[in-house]
Copies of this chain bind each other. A is one copy, B any other.
Amino acid sequence: MNELTINLRTESKTPLYEQIYAYIKEDIRNGRIPCKEKLPSTRALAKHLEVSRSTVELAYEQLLSEGYIEAEPYKGYYAAQIEDLYHLQKTKAQVQTVEQPREKYRYDFTPNGVDLKSFPYNVWRKLSKEILVDDKTELFRSGDSKGEYGFRRAICSYLYQARGVECDPGQIIIGAGSDYLLMLLCALLGTHHRIAFEDPTYMQAYRLFSCLSYELIPVGMDKNGMKVSELAQTDADIAYVTPSHQYPTGIVMPIRRRLELLRWADECDGRYIIEDDYDSEFRYKGKPIPSLQGYDAHDKVIYLGTFSKSIAPAIRLSYMVLPAPLMEQYEQKTRFISSTVSKVDQMIVQRFIEEGYFERHLNKTRALYRSRHDVLIEELKPLSSVLKISGEHAGVHLLLTFRNGSTEAELIEQAGREGIRVYGMSDYRIRKDREKEATILLGYANLTENQIKNAVRILRDCWI
């Protein structure tokens, strides 16, 4: 082949070399230039197209880089052998994105709500601005995979004061959400474990471990939380628990059961307890219940906490406290895994804690949720003949157990017809067949006192 007629568009934005490259590439792909065919020399093609030789050279270099042509020393350029290899016809499946239309409810008693109106926007903006104000290249350099030391120190001191957690900043790992930290924990522990879960439980964690191929064992609960006697009869070596405020029942595990659980962990090497302390900041009667980790004398408790509930879900900040032996393993085995939280976010929250904003924010939201909690309880009183309230005085939801023969599905459906979304306990049960009574969860963090009053009045009408 000595000539290639290419219609060059000199007025085009696309550089000439790119036009030449694209033309030859297309001709090789569709077979118009057969494989092994010799291409014109750069000099000849340049002359033919009336462009500079370097333009053609650039086009040939790109074709060479991508492998469409091959250079043979002292001979010239040849089309590479590709046309018979594979059909590039697109037969790709169309993406069916599942964008479920959200059902509209007038009132949504979600148990996972957070009052975002009380989010301290001004403080957040101020801190964010102050942190970004200096051209600190350090802010954008890769950071410590455990999280920045100063931030871990701030969390450490908060956890000691507020939750009775005893640790060193060196034992803390920051991560973008509890889901991520559980995934990291799995990478650390390996998959050969059997994990016991309270039933009902926090299904997000249950599903995550299930995705990661763990064997999961549901363990029943009594009024004191997970039955350790039942746990001891399984071959579980890890127990995932929410002792300070069981999710979703709200049960507080009393000291005696805690000690039984710790003793279970201590009976065999390699047994661990994962304490998910997801929302114990919110307690409306007396002091917060201290963490289980604080009682752990033998390095058996892996402690998890989050700022999703206490600050905002979308800031993606959680932390994990590893017992010393696991932290040593982490340093050797998984420390190479990069942090998932930007330094800017870490520094904002560090200052948010250190400058007292976090405590003030907690006090504010605690007072807010307490009022909503009190209004909800008050409004539910006329229903006391048909239902029993439990899980109150803490967290951001409570439970209604019905004694009038209604089923959970009926209750949800009756409320739904009036535009009110309520949640059924069966969503939280691992063994669905164990359902005995109809239990409904009502979350109140997302609704104002007036909204709660209106909604419960409607519920009263449709439930009696």
Q: How distant is the Cα of A460 from the Cα of B371 in the complex, in angstroms?
A: 74
Interface residues of A in 250-277 (CB under 8 A from B): 252-260, 262-263
Interfacial chain B residues near A224, Cβ < 8 Å: 67
Q: How distant is the Cα of A323 from the Cα of B96 in the complex, in angstroms?
A: 11
Tell whether, in the assembled complex, residue B255 and residue A179 are in contact, meaning their CB atoms are under 8 Å apart: no
Could you say which of B98, B140, B295, B331 contacts A314, with CB atoms under 8 Å apart?
B140
Nearest chain B CB to A94's CB is how many angstroms away?
Answer: 7
* Interface assignment of A289: CB less than 8 Å from any CB of chain B: yes
Q: How distant is the Cα of A391 from the Cα of B315 in the complex, in angstroms?
A: 40
The prevalent SS among residues of A at the interface is loop
Tell whether, in the assembled complex, residue B132 and residue A124 are in contact, meaning their CB atoms are under 8 Å apart: yes
Interface residues of A in 126-176 (CB under 8 A from B): 128-129, 132-133, 135, 137, 139-143, 166-168, 170-171, 175-176
How extensive is the interface on chain A, given as a class?
35 or more
Interfacial chain B residues near A141, Cβ < 8 Å: 116, 312-314
Interfacial chain B residues near A86, Cβ < 8 Å: 259, 262-263, 297
Residues 85-116 of chain A: 1 if any B CB is under 8 Å from the residue's CB, otherwise 0? 11111111111111100000000000000001
Nearest chain B CB to A84's CB is how many angstroms away?
Answer: 10
Tell whether, in the assembled complex, residue A180 and residue B191 are in contact, meaning their CB atoms are under 8 Å apart: no
Could you say which of B137, B170, B340 contacts A177, with CB atoms under 8 Å apart?
B340
Interfacial chain B residues near A213, Cβ < 8 Å: 190-191
Residues 440-451 of chain A: 1 if any B CB is under 8 Å from the residue's CB, otherwise 0? 000000000000
Interfacial chain B residues near A125, Cβ < 8 Å: 129, 132-133
Q: Which of A341-349, A353-361, A395-403, A405-413 contacts B (4 or more CB under 8 A)?
A: A341-349
